[in-house]
Chain A
Amino acid sequence: MAVRVAIVEDNDVFRETLELLFGMRDEVEVVGSASTGDDAPELCRRLQPDVVLMDYRMPGLNGADATRAVLAAAPSTKVVCLTASVSSEEVDEVFMAGAVMCVTKDEEFDRLVRVVCKAAES
Chain B
Amino acid sequence: MRLAFWPGLGGGATSLAEIGPVLAERGVESVTLDPLYGRRDSWALELLAGELAATGADAYAGHSWGAAVAARAAVLRAPCGLVLLDGGYVSPAEFASLGAPETLEERVAEIREIHGGYRWPTTEAYLAYVRSESPRWNEAIEEMALEGMRHEEGEVLPPFDADELETIVRGYEGFDAAATLAALPAGLPVLLVMATPQPEHAASREALLRRFTEAVPRGTIRHVDSPHDVVWGLGPALADLIVDWLVSERLL
State how many angstroms separate the Cβ of A27 from the closest Cβ of chain B.
Answer: 15
A96 within 8 A of B: no
Instruction: Select B41's contact among A20, A21, A24, A105, beta carbons within 8 Å.
Output: A105
CB nearest neighbor in A for B47: A17
> What is the total of A-B residue contacts with beta carbons within 8 Å?
46
Within 8 A of A (CB), among B204-249: none
What residues on B are CB-neighbors of A84 within 8 Å?
A: 41
CB nearest neighbor in A for B56: A20
Instruction: Select A108's contact among B41, B46, B167, beta carbons within 8 Å.
Output: B46
Known A20-B76, A20-B77: A106·B54 in contact at CB below 8 Å: no
Known A106-B167, A106-B171, A108-B174: A20·B54 in contact at CB below 8 Å: yes
- A13 and B42 contact, CB distance less than 8 A: no
A93 within 8 A of B: no
17 A-B Cβ contacts within 8 A?
A: A11-B41, A13-B51, A17-B47, A17-B50, A17-B51, A18-B50, A20-B54, A20-B77, A21-B46, A84-B41, A105-B42, A106-B42, A106-B43, A106-B171, A108-B46, A108-B174, A109-B50
CB nearest neighbor in B for A17: B50
Within 8 A of B (CB), among A57-88: 84
Q: Which residues from chain B sit less than 8 Å from chain A, CB to CB?
A: 41-44, 46-47, 50-51, 53-54, 76-77, 167, 171, 174
Task: Kindly list 11 other residue pairs between chains A and B, CB separation below 8 angstroms, not including A20-B77, A106-B43.
Answer: A11-B41, A16-B54, A17-B50, A17-B51, A17-B54, A20-B50, A20-B53, A21-B47, A21-B76, A105-B42, A106-B42
A26 within 8 A of B: no
Instruction: Select B50's contact among A11, A21, A107, A110, beta carbons within 8 Å.
Output: A21
For the complex, give the distance between the alpha carbons of A13 and B51 in Å. Answer: 7
For the complex, give the distance between the alpha carbons of A13 and B48 in Å. Answer: 10
Q: Which residues from chain A sit less than 8 Å from chain B, CB to CB?
A: 11, 13-14, 16-18, 20-21, 24, 84, 104-110
Known A17-B51, A107-B44, A109-B47: A24·B76 in contact at CB below 8 Å: yes
For the complex, give the distance between the alpha carbons of A109 and B48 in Å. Answer: 11
What residues on A are CB-neighbors of B174 within 8 Å?
A: 108
What residues on A are CB-neighbors of B77 within 8 Å?
A: 20, 24
State how many angstroms separate the Cβ of A84 from the closest Cβ of chain B.
Answer: 4
What residues on B are CB-neighbors of A14 within 8 Å?
A: 41-42, 47
- A106 and B51 contact, CB distance less than 8 A: no
Instruction: Select A106's contact among B41, B53, B76, beta carbons within 8 Å.
Output: B41
CB nearest neighbor in B for A111: B44
What residues on B are CB-neighbors of A17 within 8 Å?
A: 47, 50-51, 54
Most buried by B among A18, A21, A84, A105: A21
CB nearest neighbor in A for B43: A106
For the complex, give the distance between the alpha carbons of A13 and B171 in Å. Answer: 18
CB nearest neighbor in A for B48: A17
For the complex, give the distance between the alpha carbons of A16 and B56 in Å. Answer: 12
For the complex, give the distance between the alpha carbons of A105 and B43 in Å. Answer: 8
What residues on B are CB-neighbors of A110 within 8 Å?
A: 46
CB nearest neighbor in B for A109: B46
State how many angstroms separate the Cβ of A19 from the closest Cβ of chain B.
Answer: 8
State how many angstroms separate the Cβ of B190 from the closest Cβ of chain A.
Answer: 21
What residues on A are CB-neighbors of B41 within 8 Å?
A: 11, 14, 84, 104-106
State how many angstroms separate the Cβ of A79 from the closest Cβ of chain B.
Answer: 18
Most buried by B among A13, A17, A20, A104: A17
